[in-house]
Amino acid sequence: MTSTVQTRNVRIEAQDGGTFDAYLAVPASGSGPGLVLCQEIFGVNDFMRRTAQLLAEEGYVVLVPDLFWRQQPGIQLTDGPSDMPKAFALYQGFDENLGVADIGATVAKLRTLPECEGGVGALGYCLGGKLAYLAACRTDVDVAVGYYGVGIENSLDEIQNLRGSLVLHIAEQDDFCPPPARAQILEALSGRKGVELYVYPDVDHAFARTGGDHYDKPSALMAHQRSIAALKRAIGPHYDFSYLWDKHCEYEFGTRDVAATMATMVAEPYVNHIPTMTGGVGHKELSRFYQHHFVNNNPPDTRLIPLSRTVGATQIVDEMLFCFTHTTEIDWMLPGVAPTGKAVEVPLIAIVKFRGDKLYHEHIYWDQASVLVQIGLLDPEGLPVAGVETARKLLDETLPSNTLMARWQDSARHG
């Protein structure tokens, strides 16, 4: 976890008297839109604190209230079998209405903090998923996101009071939200302005809890992207991803400065060149990779020719031509292959994920068969592969299509 995220405890006055603690995480910039993070039935435990810190890296000032304070302040449980009975007992004894009031008090407190600039949202899991839904209906949050909320079907009439926008992530195999309950939610909320509903096939409750028995990474990643997109639309923050990515590439291929390259990334980034599985995970390994196998490893005439760019809420997708003469051994693309002196032009796709204003990871794709054909290591005769033609046709769509299909001429007879 990056040390640039600052954390501390904040004391909040409850609307009905008394005070309770909340865990605060502030982004490296020192300010940002506010986000109330609503706990599961396990209290403000390690998962909630780590989630708060990750959301702070995204640019949010995150406040996590201790919603079980009336029963037992400072409770921190796990989802292990020894803690589950106590967690369910706390859940059964929890006063939902007072909990929503505490969230309202947390929202009000967050708006007074000097670090909080702009709007405020709410995001929650499990118990917190329903509380985020109710916060959207009862408080002045600008946006709310609920993960596998329990019992939302019992409060669907409250949607009439929705003030901002709402996103709900629903697990298809969630026993706490069985098919009849899910059907009620979808029927009541689908098509409403400002409401987004997502059902994740074949996953169970708590699919986004890292380390949990039901954690499902693909669904968790998709849900997170949708959540951040909704938050950014409503309250920001907004970053110039194009500028950030261009500077990163300038340091990689222009000035070839490893330290400057790493400074554009989060504390623990990763890079994966998919065809060759080269790159690195974490600052130490990726720095080593950049220093010895990438930044100073590319041929002198390496060129990136941009063709298109799609900028999303959390990532950039770049389409380009990667061009070079194979005059040096290129560890990351052609590991172990001695220089051939051959010219190469290959289409390349970069999917670049950001966390806040830093690069989090890169997934880089290209057609390795086309590269091998162009340097003479793969004979394309009789194989469904092409060489430089793939790059040429990308620039000139009028060049012949289907040249690798032996049956293409046969279909001409059928019109």
CATH number where 310 lies: 3.10.450.50
Burial (0-12, 13-18, 19+ Cβ within 10 Å), 341: exposed
Domain boundary among 235, 259, 286: 235
CA 402 from chain centre, in angstroms, equals 37
Local structure of 73: helix, strand or coil: coil
For this structure, is 169 an active site residue? no
pLDDT value, residue 391? 97
Mean pLDDT score, 344-373 = 98
Q: Say what percent of the chain tops pLDDT 90.
A: 96
| pLDDT score recorded for residue 206 | 97
Q: Does the pLDDT of residue 160 top 70, yes or no?
A: yes
In a domain, 1, yes or no: no
User: In this structure, are residues 171 and 187 in contact, taking their beta carbons and an 8 Å threshold?
Assistant: no
Among 200, 235, 270, the domain-final residue is 235
Torsion angle in degrees (nearest 10) through CA of 290, 293, 299, 304: -40
Phi, psi for residue 5 in degrees, rounded to 5: -75, 125
Q: Please write the tens of the pLDDT for every residue from 378-394.
A: 999 999 999 999 999 99
205 a catalytic residue: yes
Shared-domain flag, residues 157 and 53 = yes
* 122 and 257 both lie in a single domain: no
One domain, residues 96 and 187: yes
Domain that residue 219 falls in: 6-235
CA atoms of 372 and 367, how far apart (whole Å): 9
pLDDT of residue 412: 82
Residues 24 and 148 in one domain: yes
Residue 135: give its domain's CATH number. 3.40.50.1820
| Predicted local confidence at residue 2, as pLDDT | 41
Q: Do 314 and 337 share a domain, yes or no?
A: yes
Residues 212 and 275 in one domain: no
**Is residue 415 situated within a structural domain?**
no
pLDDT at 413: 80
Domain membership of residue 222 (yes or no) is yes
Return the pLDDT at 119: 97
> Does residue 349 share a domain with residue 202?
no
Percent of the chain residues topping a pLDDT of 70: 99
Q: Identify the active-site residue in 169, 205, 224, 273.
A: 205
At 102-133, the pLDDT tens digits run: 999 999 999 999 999 999 999 999 999 999 99
Give the total number of structural domains in the chain.
2
Taking the CB of residue 303, how many other CB atoms lie within 10 A of it?
12
Rounded mean pLDDT of the chain?
96
Residue 146 counted as domain residue:
yes
Same domain membership, residue 259 and residue 211 = no
Is residue 175 over pLDDT 70? yes
Q: Is 27 a member of any domain?
A: yes
Residue 415 confidence (pLDDT): 62
Using the 3D structure, point to which of 210, 235, 260 is the last residue of a domain.
235
Residues 44 and 126 grouped into a single domain: yes
Q: Tens digit of pLDDT for each residue in 317-350?
A: 999 999 999 999 999 999 999 999 999 999 999 9
Q: Supply the pLDDT for residue 111.
A: 97
Would you call 277 exposed, middle or buried from its count of C-beta atoms within 10 A (0-12, 13-18, 19+)?
exposed
Q: 66, 174, 318, 367: which one is catalytic?
A: 174
**Once rounded to an integer, what is the mean pLDDT over residues 69-89?**
96
pLDDT digits (tens, 9 = 90+) for 263-316: 999 999 999 999 999 999 999 999 999 999 999 899 999 999 999 999 999 999
Whether 1 shows a pLDDT value over 50: the answer reads no
The rounded distance, in Å, linking the Cα atoms of 22 and 390 is 56
pLDDT of 376 higher than 80: yes
pLDDT of residue 409: 87
3, 8, 360, 361 from 268: Cα distances, Å: 11, 22, 8, 9
Please check whether residue 127 lies inside any domain of the structure.
Answer: yes
Statement to judge: residues 204 and 249 lie in one domain: no
